[in-house]
Amino acid sequence: MSETSIDIEVDQHLDAKGLNCPLPVLKAKLILNRMQAGEILYVEATDPHATIDFEAYCARSGHQIIRLLESDEVVEIYISRAADPKKV
């Protein structure tokens, strides 16, 4: 496990910078499928639609966004893996 600058322990990290929709969500989905319930995935994305895409995906699947930070260039998303995610 590693710690990010805001002291959330993360279990997996996805660098999706430079990838456009739908790749950041698809890559995150693959990682989340291999994770255990409650583990944290940290995603960095530059796609301008990343916030909307991840919010929609998590709402449908049951995963929980525990923190979302947006800057001019990078969106940082911390996702807690659901115990029993819905198939999306």
Residues belonging to the active site: 21
Strands (DSSP E) contained in 7-46 are 9-10, 12-16, 40-45
> What tokens does 56 get?
């929609």
For residues 21 and 49, is the Cβ–Cβ distance under 8 A? yes
Q: What angle do CA 39, 46, 51 make, to 5 degrees?
A: 60
